[in-house]
């Protein structure tokens, strides 16, 4: 798309929205149905594209990308009529006999910016909520997953009118600032790095544009002394090395009780070999690093501790073996930066206070995981750590439950989405109170002298 045409196209979206074209239930429903049909039609091209970009197998692509979005569409279609209805709420005594309700109205023209690690899911899942809420949408896919971006372009062009959903490609660092300077969006939804999220936030603040920021951070995984080590190892391994570790809610590092460390390391090694074979480079179940820049960043981490397992790599294939590391200093970049790759540091602790102090080096993680067999222990952990979302005796799978809101806090993000929460994030919640005219008591009007006792009775 010619960058010079973008301002004109953005104005066409505004005109289309202002014309009320997206408001009706029937329109929103039809758009969601067409999106679902198109995704099923393009299922094979999407498999091929996700493999080309990230070497994702079909099963993983369905669970984490295609099927994930289709489940969000089904949820929206099932509940959309109810979500759109006025929601009646109580009215306090001072406003008797008024009635009160809440309306969810679309925000207008919204911008959705997605990263490369889940290029389909992280663009289309927010899109589902934005369409359900009745907005016009600008989609900016990641240029680092070009094969998937190409198939998504075909889907968007087939399903949506350009004045309803505009698909804008190009270098994000150039395209996004240009759009945000030329046009006032009604909301910006960004998923990606914290550094870029801060810049998006700054640009949005200049025009008082609200944002949702889905960022990242260092998500800790605590394995207590009473944990089921076999189960913990399986569930940590499958999520840490899914998508080659390129997942914002993957366990970033493990804090294991010192009494169970050796047992856990042994179990993790066994799981890696079982899931990905002795040569993960040729495993159907194991992917690749997105590009050379990220590959080189990850390779540098391998020098910052002792390798207990893995460590082999091949730049020609953008391959890094699932790797477990020990003896990593807390001030090393590996323990300061989000890893976003198949490298798993393991640290030990003897007391909860010791482990919490390590976590506080990188506070407010996007996710937190604890493995324990004791309900009191799990409650102590959940209540004492600030985090976006998490699991007890599991890792990462909370993200797939669209009944749970997903989002971070402070450095790991702001706002929430999934299921109904996606509809809400792209809606303005409008409060309305309706008062009849047949009842109009004089107590509400001046003179007020002598009415204080009555006011105190009504307002308490």
Active-site annotation, residues: 214, 248
Assess contact for 258 and 349: CB atoms under 8 A: yes
Q: What is the 3-state secondary structure (H, E, C) of 15-64?
A: HHHHCCCCCCHHHHHHHHHHHHHHHHHCHHHHHHHHHHHHCCCHHHHHHH
Structure tokens at 327: 């003896």
CA nearest to 28, candidates 86, 69, 73, 88? 73
CA nearest to 240, candidates 229, 251, 255? 251
Distance of CA 95 to the CA centre of its chain: 40
Report the alpha-carbon distance of residue 350 to residue 329 in Å, rounded. Answer: 17
Structure tokens at 253: 């590092």
Report the alpha-carbon distance of residue 185 to residue 175 in Å, rounded. Answer: 14
CA nearest to 128, candidates 52, 206, 72, 46? 72
List of long-range contacts for 259-262, beta carbons under 8 Å, 24+ apart: 259/225, 260/223, 260/225, 260/227, 260/229, 261/346, 261/348
Structure tokens at 31: 């758009």
Angle between helices 121-132 and 25-41 (to 10 degrees): 160
Whether the ω angle into residue 213 lies within 30 degrees of 0, i.e. cis, is: no
Beta bridge partners of 220: 253
Report the alpha-carbon distance of residue 388 to residue 367 in Å, rounded. Answer: 5
Report the alpha-carbon distance of residue 32 to residue 427 in Å, rounded. Answer: 17
Structure tokens at 340: 């976003």
Q: How many CB atoms lie within 10 A of CB 449?
A: 6
Classified as helix, coil or strand, 211 is strand
Residue 372: Cβ-neighbour burial (10 angstroms; 0-12, 13-18, 19+): buried
Query: Furthest-apart CA pair in the chain: how many Å?
Result: 87
């Amino acid at each position: 798309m010619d960058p010079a045409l973008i301002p004109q196209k953005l104005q066409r979206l505004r005109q289309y929205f202002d014309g009320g074209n997206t408001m009706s239930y029937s329109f929103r429903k039809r758009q969601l149905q067409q999106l679902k049909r198109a995704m099923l039609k393009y299922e094979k091209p999407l498999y091929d594209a996700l493999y080309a970009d990230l070497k994702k197998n079909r099963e993983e692509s369905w669970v984490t990308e295609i099927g994930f979005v289709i489940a969000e569409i089904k949820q929206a279609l099932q509940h959309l009529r109810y979500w759109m209805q006025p929601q009646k709420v109580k009215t306090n005594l001072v406003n008797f006999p008024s009635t009160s309700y809440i309306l969810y109205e679309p925000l207008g023209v919204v911008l959705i910016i997605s990263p490369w690690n889940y290029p389909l899911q992280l663009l289309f899942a927010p899109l589902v909520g934005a369409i359900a809420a009745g907005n016009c949408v600008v989609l900016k896919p990641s240029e680092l997953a070009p094969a998937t971006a190409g198939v998504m372009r075909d889907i968007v062009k087939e399903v949506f009118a350009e004045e309803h959903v505009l698909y804008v490609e190009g270098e994000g660092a150039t395209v996004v600032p240009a759009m945000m300077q030329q046009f006032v969006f009604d909301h910006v939804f960004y998923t990606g790095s914290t550094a870029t999220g801060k810049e998006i936030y700054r640009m949005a603040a200049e025009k008082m544009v609200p944002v949702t920021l889905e960022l990242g951070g260092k998500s800790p995984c605590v394995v207590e002394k009473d944990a089921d080590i076999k189960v913990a190892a399986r569930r940590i391994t499958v999520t840490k090395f899914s998508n080659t570790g390129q997942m914002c809610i993957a366990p970033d590092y493990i804090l294991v009780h010192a009494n169970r460390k050796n047992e856990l390391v042994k179990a993790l090694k066994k799981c890696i070999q079982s899931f990905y074979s002795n040569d993960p480079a040729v495993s159907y179940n194991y992917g690749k690093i997105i590009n050379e820049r990220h590959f080189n960043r990850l390779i540098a981490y391998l020098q910052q501790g002792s390798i207990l397992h893995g460590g082999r790599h091949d730049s020609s294939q953008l391959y890094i073996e699932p790797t477990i590391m020990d003896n990593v200093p807390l001030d090393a970049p590996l323990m300061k930066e989000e890893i976003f790759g198949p490298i798993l540091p393991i640290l030990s602790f003897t007391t909860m206070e010791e482990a919490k102090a390590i976590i506080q080096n990188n506070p407010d993680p996007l996710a937190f995981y604890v493995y324990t067999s004791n309900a009191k222990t799990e409650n102590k952990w959940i209540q004492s750590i600030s985090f976006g979302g998490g699991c007890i005796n599991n890792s990462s799978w909370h993200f797939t439950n669209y009944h749970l809101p997903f989002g971070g806090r402070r450095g790991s993000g702001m706002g929430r989405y999934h299921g109904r929460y996606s509809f809400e994030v792209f809606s303005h919640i409008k409060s309305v109170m309706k008062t009849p005219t047949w009842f109009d008591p004089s107590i509400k009007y001046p003179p007020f002298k002598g009415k204080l006792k009555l006011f105190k009775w009504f307002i308490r």
